[in-house]
Structure 1
Amino acid sequence: MAKLKYSFQDKSLVSIKGERWKDIPGFEGFYKASNMGRIKSLDRVIPHPRLNQQFVAGRILSQSIAKNRNIKTGEPMIDLRVSLSKEGSQFYFNTRRVIYSTFVREINYEDDGMYVINKDGDGYNNCVKNLKLVTKSEKSQRVFIRERADSYLKTADRSKWKNYGGYTRRLPVKQYSIKGKLMGHYESIREASQKTGCGQKEIILVARGIHHQTKGYIWRYA
């Protein structure tokens, strides 16, 4: 039998060398994730309309592959996804977020606006050691560094940005959480940058509506 390239393709319940399993947060007793990127259901007894109860053996779950073509390179961008069920409800997750939340720390995009990426850029490789938590800004910068997209700042017509470096930076701004809660009010972008650690350019781009958020915050001109 040919050796499988990625661990998630291995459907055997026998653990891979070096593989560790942990309960998935929120699905304890139902599913476990491995540090190799695999996910399995556990043995369970479920209701049955005729037999009253039915035993269901645990198994390694199949992971669906989502491919989105990169506009610049034409290469596919890979995301592995998994479906988990609990108490009659179905839930769909990005596999790398499940693995990261299980082995590193729990994350909630709506609260922190953070992304989990594959360090080597290979979406099939969701081993925990290949995962990294980044902000949207860091994720975008990585795309430019890998030359998978052209920076807006690189291609934009700056002749229309006469006030970009002066007057614009002196405008007052308001800081909001991802959920829209007002976090602060600053007399200038320079002050906002100094007190929050967010870059001035990033704040301006968010305030202009070019970017959605930076470091988990939304900015609007006051």
Structure 2
Amino acid sequence: MEEWKNIKGFESLYQVSNYGRVRSIDRIIKRVKDGVLIDFRFKGKLLTPKLNKKTGYVHVALSINSKRKYINIHRLVAESFIENPDNKPCVNHKDESKLNNNADNLEWCNYVYNNGYGTKKKRLAESLKGKKRPYQNVPILCFDYNTGKFVKKFPAIYAAVEELKVPQGSIIRVLSGKRKSTHGYYFEYETVKEE
């Protein structure tokens, strides 16, 4: 059964459902017309989600005080319907479909779990297959393996090698999924290119 909850920070304006749908709420807005303050009835409606082609996630634009904010729907659903007692920073899609934002398909997790989940590394490795030294100019993200906390974004592997004093081969093995970590770090490419 679909359940609706007010969106934090937009309580009297928007709601999100456990099925991943977002709607505006019926409300009355005061406006000046011909020098007279009148009540304008605003009829709520379902918002049309937009696909962010760069990330693959769907988002909606929420407005408050004439300011528009784009928010990913999976975060809205997780913040409204999924407990997060450990204050984990990431929301994972259990079925690996970024379009399935049903609350039953989402879970809170840390960066290491989220970045190593499912077939992500395999898909990335296949997208880079056949390219000569694909890792040279691809930005990578570095995480503390034990805590899962984000450490730094590097423009390429060479920068991580220089700063962290970690062998290039070790980083490449983590990036390709042959190792889980090296020297207390976990690495991943900044983006996964979907085919």
Q: 1:84 to 1:211 in 2, by over 3 A?
A: same
Moved over 4 A (4+): 143-146
What are the superposed Cα offsets for residues 37-90 of structure 1, whole Å, 9 maximum, x if unpaired? 10111111223231633110111111111123xxxxxxxx62110111123322
Q: Which runs of 5+ in 2 are unaligned?
A: 127-146, 152-179, 190-195
2:52 to 49, 52, 66: 66
One-letter amino acid matched to 1:78: G
Number of positions where the alignment pairs a residue of Structure 1 with one of Structure 2: 140
Measure the CA separation in 1 of the matches of 2:29 and 2:99: 32
Q: How far apart are 1:144 and its partner, in Å? A: 4.9
Measure the CA separation in 2 of the matches of 1:204 and 1:106: 26
Q: Secondary structure of the equivalent of 1:129?
A: helix
Task: Please name the residue that 1:34 is paired with.
Answer: 17
Q: 1:25 to 1:106 in 2, by over 3 A?
A: farther
Q: 1:115 to 1:128 in 2, by over 3 A?
A: same
Indicate the percent of aligned positions where both proteins have the same amino acid. 25
2:2 maps to 1:19: yes
Q: How far apart are 1:202 and its partner, in Å? A: 5.8
Task: Please name the residue that 1:205 is paired with.
Answer: 185
What are the superposed Cα offsets for residues 153-181 of structure 1, whole Å, 9 maximum, x if unpaired? xxxxxxxxxxxxxxxxxxxxxx9x769xx
Measure the CA separation in 1 of the matches of 2:120 and 2:68: 37
Contact 1:23 1:29 in 2 (8 A): yes
Task: Please name the residue that 1:128 is paired with.
Answer: 103
2:63 maps to 1:85: yes
One-letter amino acid matched to 1:47: K
TM-score normalised by structure 1 residue count: 0.52
Q: Which runs of 5+ in 1 are unaligned?
A: 1-17, 69-76, 152-174, 180-199, 213-222
What's the RMSD between the two structures over aligned residues? Answer: 3.5
Contact 1:79 1:94 in 2 (8 A): yes
TM-score normalised by structure 2 residue count: 0.59
* Structure ID, larger Rg: 1
